[in-house]
Copies of this chain bind each other. A is one copy, B any other.
């Protein structure tokens, strides 16, 4: 058996993190757990099952001989992109599955949680397993953020605009921006230290940056409204060709969740529909919109290297900030062997990096080396803009 203190600390964190997922879902009706309005949004019950399946599949099955699989069919249902593990339900279909029921999934969670604690208390739990356990906990936290963004999408696309939770405070105020100057030279990028990080942050390495000035604030709704009112969505000159196609194909006129009602811009929040607050940080925009806005301002988005270098000098964490960096491997990046190796590397094409964090990011899950990434057209994250000139 491992050092008791270590195990105890893991058990407590395990309990806290697992419990937080359940708390996030507590305001939901059963029906809210089930639907999948678009392919990028997963049903909340799927998130609850999938994170549980991760612990079952990668920790209990290979390491705890006395463990009995809860239901062998669940691998088929709750596997996501881990092709190594078996046939998967394609993402589009997740919204068609009424079973396992929400109650079944909570039973599944309880069962796996008890077995995990039993395992962590046992002599079989050792230092070799820690990194995988750490990965499982961080994986669960990633899905906690997705739970919130997906719940917002589900409720925000219902014509009744249901309220998720009265007390949730969705955004924060932005101040007048100041630009911070950084000088040309060699900088270091990438995770270092002893805590957890994902494989895509590893390989601390030198980069050569030119002079740049970066805003100490993210863009506010007021600033973005100026772009909208100046005809930003109608002027192709500010847009990438793909972005312009996206605007036209989907008739985009505003960020996601904005509705022009009786001449006023309203905004769907987890508290329900509210008037757009001009002082708050802009949210729910695509990379295309971020980039077009920057072009209209005569500025640009930071690279992820610039962002990481500058981040200790400004406040961050209000929004996931689109960078102008494509999601690519760091020098020396290697996939882990086995199914866990599919975690990040396979997505390193056709996606843009976001840095920072958001109000939906669980506490303790943000770092200035964290590399989030999404397709350029996606708006459903709490995503915003920081300018560079």
Query: Bound state CA distance, A237 and B343, in angstroms?
Result: 11
Query: Bound state CA distance, A157 and B94, in angstroms?
Result: 11
Q: Are B242 and A350 within 8 A (Cβ)?
A: yes
| Interface residue A22 (Cβ < 8 Å from any Cβ of B) | no
Q: Are B332 and A159 within 8 A (Cβ)?
A: no
- Residues of the B chain whose Cβ atoms lie less than 8 Å from the Cβ of A159: 73, 76-77, 89, 97
Which listed segment binds B: A137-145, A167-175, A205-213?
A205-213
Query: Bound state CA distance, A101 and B154, in angstroms?
Result: 13
Q: Which residue of B lies closest to A44 (CB)?
A: B98
Query: Bound state CA distance, A328 and B376, in angstroms?
Result: 13
| Interface residue A35 (Cβ < 8 Å from any Cβ of B) | yes
Proximity bits, A91-116, B CB within 8 Å = 1, else 0: 00001111111100000000000000
| Interface residue A331 (Cβ < 8 Å from any Cβ of B) | yes
| Interface residue A359 (Cβ < 8 Å from any Cβ of B) | no
A145 to chain B, nearest CB (A): 20
Q: Are B31 and A349 within 8 A (Cβ)?
A: no
Interface size on A, residues (CB 8 A): 66
| Interface residue A32 (Cβ < 8 Å from any Cβ of B) | yes
Count the copies: 4
Proximity bits, A15-38, B CB within 8 Å = 1, else 0: 000000000000001111111110
| Interface residue A329 (Cβ < 8 Å from any Cβ of B) | yes
A1-56 interface with B by 8 A CB criterion = 29-37, 45
| Interface residue A241 (Cβ < 8 Å from any Cβ of B) | yes
Q: Are B35 and A97 within 8 A (Cβ)?
A: yes
A212 to chain B, nearest CB (A): 8
Query: Bound state CA distance, A154 and B329, in angstroms?
Result: 37
- Residues of the B chain whose Cβ atoms lie less than 8 Å from the Cβ of A176: none
Q: Are B31 and A95 within 8 A (Cβ)?
A: no
| Interface residue A84 (Cβ < 8 Å from any Cβ of B) | yes
Write 27 A-B pairs (CB below 8 A) sorted by A numbering.
A30-B30, A30-B31, A31-B31, A31-B45, A32-B99, A35-B35, A35-B98, A36-B96, A37-B96, A76-B159, A97-B159, A99-B162, A186-B208, A206-B208, A210-B331, A210-B332, A240-B349, A241-B346, A242-B349, A288-B349, A291-B349, A300-B329, A326-B326, A326-B328, A349-B376, A350-B350, A350-B376
Chain A residues close to B by CB (< 8 Å): 29-37, 45, 73, 76-77, 81, 83-84, 89, 95-102, 154-155, 157-160, 162, 186, 205-208, 210, 236-237, 239-244, 287-288, 291, 300, 324-326, 328-329, 331-332, 341-342, 346-350, 352, 376
